[in-house]
Structure 1
Amino acid sequence: TLNWVETLKSGIKAFPEYTFFFGNLIDYYSNNDQYNEAMVFADEMLVNEPDNTFYLYVKAYLYHNIKDYDKAIEYYKKVIETDSQYAEAYSNLGLIYCIKAQEYSDKASTVDVSNPNYVKEQQIIKKFYEEARPCYEKARLLKPTQTDLWLQGLYRIYYNLGLGAEFEEIEKLLL
């Protein structure tokens, strides 16, 4: 395994234009919960190519995996600014907003509809789903046949936003 890592590191240095080495090294570190090491390599690659969408995406994905959602959002947005056709970045950005909605909902202080905080908390949750919606819709537009990027997300969003017609359309696709 150590030889594999060294081979990947050598490959990155010798052939930085080939994502195979970088991608496999990041996968190795991620699969072994070595996110700090993965982050170091992502940073090193971004120093040389700050607008490389793959490296930006990996950085976002690493933040996503360590649950630093605000940083992940920042980097997924950088990917999209650099390449507006990067469907996976839209999908994962939508996913993070849905995760934030769920986490906020889990921590919400009240379920009593008569409590004044209830309305405020529900508005915050709704805002997260509203932020997620265009992300998943764009992923769908870019890759309509790759339903794993958008189907479950849109189902959840349309349900939580009470969008009946849109929800029914997505529900039919799930069946």
Structure 2
Amino acid sequence: MTKLRRKQKLFNNQLKKNKFELKKYLKLTVMMKKTILLFAFLISVAGAYAQKGKVASAQTLKDTQKLDKALEAINEAIDPTNEKAEKSIPWAKTWEVRGDIYRAIYQSKDENIKKLADDPLQTSLESFKKALELDEKGRNANGVKINLTLLISDFTDQAVNAFNENNYELALKSFESILDIESMPVMQEAGQAAVDTVIIFNAGLAAYNAEKYDDAIQYYKEAAKYDYNGARTYELIASSYTSKQDTASALLTLQEGFEKYPENSSILVLMINIYLNANKVDDAMKYLELAIKQDPENGSFHFAQGSLYDKLGETEKAIKAYEKAIELKEDYFDAYYNLGAIYYNQGVKQVEVANAVPTNQPDKYEEEKNKADEEFKKAIPYMEKASEINAEDTFSLESLKTLYYRLKMMDKFDEVNKKLEDLK
């Protein structure tokens, strides 16, 4: 019994010793695991900081105008084939710095730097958008807002330069980028929610000049919603439709514009011209009378009315309208020429009457011929005045040459003939 208890006691002591060793082992194992995890964490943090350091380096290089090196550094930080870049690619600051670098490339005066990017402002904008997308907590939002505001100024500069250089496609793209920035929620929050009608209108202007008429119509209509540029915007919408050979839509637009701006005569003129080109004489005359009523001192309206009466064969009314146009505008070349042409053509018709007289009625022929000459004489002062106003107009000179020859005014015939020779 005694021996048995001793063995049991020894066994118990051994068990206690084993438990102590096991606890010691387990504690050591846990410590080792913690050390390994800490070491792995430190490596991870070191890698992240290394890549963030690359971004910081890119920013420093940009600030010191070493833009080629800055671009290399930021490209390394976003290179998906670079394992280290896994830490910097999802970092919002990386893309903000990238946007800043590309904006600096656009602003650079060094042609070699400018060659580093085909469309630096667009790339800059895309980078800032990416920065906002990754910055879920909005920690860098204020900095990006400032950069976007500066980017609007750059895009405006690019648009104006492109427009002046007749690069209307780039101008349109630039204006559209401005509108894109201004519509972003972050900019709306920044108190820039007002509709930028100037940029909308200019986008329409660029689109029109780029012959993108559907885009032009879209932007002009948007500007018209806010009454920007008044009646002129409706004229441009109509002009865009006319360029598309859609005269029906052009007329509807002008009628809408006329209802909104009934005192505007230029809309009336466009409507009249469309009706005239479509040979809708009655409609043209109706709006022309409205135009004259609104602006009776406008010689152009009286001239247009004279042309319309002339077309309708109402010669006396046409003459009165042309005379009124000249009364209001003394150097109105077209009115003088058309008046001369009326009398000239009446003379030609009278010659046909004379030529139709039978050969056995010489007295009657002479009478009718003299009537023709009277009409030709009436034409001369108007043609002479037209030629005086525009000395290089060959049509009026050719008409005078024929008239002088017809009426045997040979000195003047020679004079006009010499002028024509000199103009050749």
Pairwise TM-score range, normalised by the shorter structure: 0.7 to 0.9
Distance 1:73 1:171, change over 3 A: same
Equivalent residues of 1:61, 1:72 under 8 A apart: yes
User: AA paired with 1:44?
Assistant: L
CA RMSD for the aligned pairs? 2.1
The separation in 2 between residues aligned to 1:147 and 1:157, in whole angstroms, is 14
Name 1:94's counterpart in structure 2: 340
Aligned CA distance change for structure 1 residues 105 and 11 (closer, same or farther; 3 Å): farther
CA 1:98–1:27: 2 relative to 1, 3 Å: same
> Deviation string for 1:96-131 (max 9, x for gaps)?
111111112222342638622122111111111111
Moved more, 88-97 or 22-31: 22-31
Tell me the distance in 1 between the aligned counterparts of 2:409 and 2:264: 44
For residue 403 of structure 2, what is the aligned residue in structure 1?
157
Counterpart of 1:120 in structure 2: which amino acid?
E
1:74 partnered with 2:309:
no
Structure 1 residue 171 corresponds to structure 2 residue 417 = yes
**Aligned AA (2:276):** S
Aligned pair in 2 of structure 1 residues 53, 11: CA closer, same or farther (>3 Å)? Answer: farther
**Unpaired segments of 5 or more residues in structure 1?**
none
Residue 122, structure 1, aligned to residue 369, structure 2: yes
CA distance in 1, matches of 2:403, 2:360: 21
- Relative to 1, partners in 2 of residues 1:110 and 1:140: Cα closer, same or farther, differing over 3 Å? same
Please tell me whether the aligned partners of residues 265 and 291 of structure 2 are also in contact (alpha carbons under 8 angstroms).
no
Q: Write the distance in 2 (CA, Å) between the matches of 1:60 and 1:9.
A: 24
1:9 aligned partner: 255
| Aligned counterpart in structure 1 of residue 282 of structure 2, from 27, 36, 59 | 36
* Letter of the structure 1 residue corresponding to residue 277 of structure 2: N
> What does residue 151 of structure 2 align with?
none
Assess, with a 3 A threshold, how the Cα gap between structure 1 residues 85 and 111 changes in structure 2: closer, same or farther: farther
Q: Is the 8 A contact 1:100 1:128 kept in 2?
A: yes
Give the letter aligned to residue 351 of structure 2.
Answer: S
Q: Unpaired segments of 5 or more residues in structure 2?
A: 1-246
Are the aligned partners of 2:263 and 2:294 in contact in 1 as well (CA < 8 Å)?
A: no
Letter in 2 for 1:55: F
1:46-61 alignment, distance < 5 Å: 46-61=292-307
Structure with greater contact order relative to length (CA < 8 Å, sep ≥ 6)? 1
The residue identity in structure 1 corresponding to 2:339 is L
Structure 1's consecutive aligned runs of 4 or more residues displaced over 4 angstroms after TM superposition are: 15-18
Q: TM-score if structure 2 supplies the norm length?
A: 0.38
- Structure 1 length as normaliser, TM-score? 0.87
Residue pair 1:113, 1:119 contacting (<8 A) in 2 also: no
The code of the aligned residue for 1:97 comes to Y
Decide whether the 8 Å contact of 2:353 with 2:368 is kept in 1.
no
Q: Give, in whole Å, the separation in 1 of the partners of 2:358 and 2:407.
A: 17
Q: Which moved more, 1:158-167 or 1:133-142?
A: 158-167
- Which residue of 2 is the match for residue 25 of structure 1? 271
Aligned to 1:137: 384
Alignment partners' CA distance in 2, 1:146 and 1:11: 37
- Structure 1 window deviating more from structure 2 (69-78 vs 105-114): it is 105-114
1:162 alignment partner, SS class = coil
AA of the residue aligned to 2:359? D
Q: 1:147, 1:15 → 2: CA distance?
A: 40
User: In structure 2, do the counterparts of structure 1 residues 134 and 31 end up closer, same or farther at CA, with 3 Å as the change threshold?
Assistant: same
Secondary structure, counterpart of 2:392 in structure 1: coil
Q: Do the aligned partners of residues 16 and 112 (structure 1) sit closer, same or farther apart at CA in structure 2, a change above 3 Å counting?
A: farther
Deviation of 1:18 (Å): 5.2
Displacement of 1:64 after TM fit?
1.4
Where 2:272 maps in the other structure, the secondary structure is helix
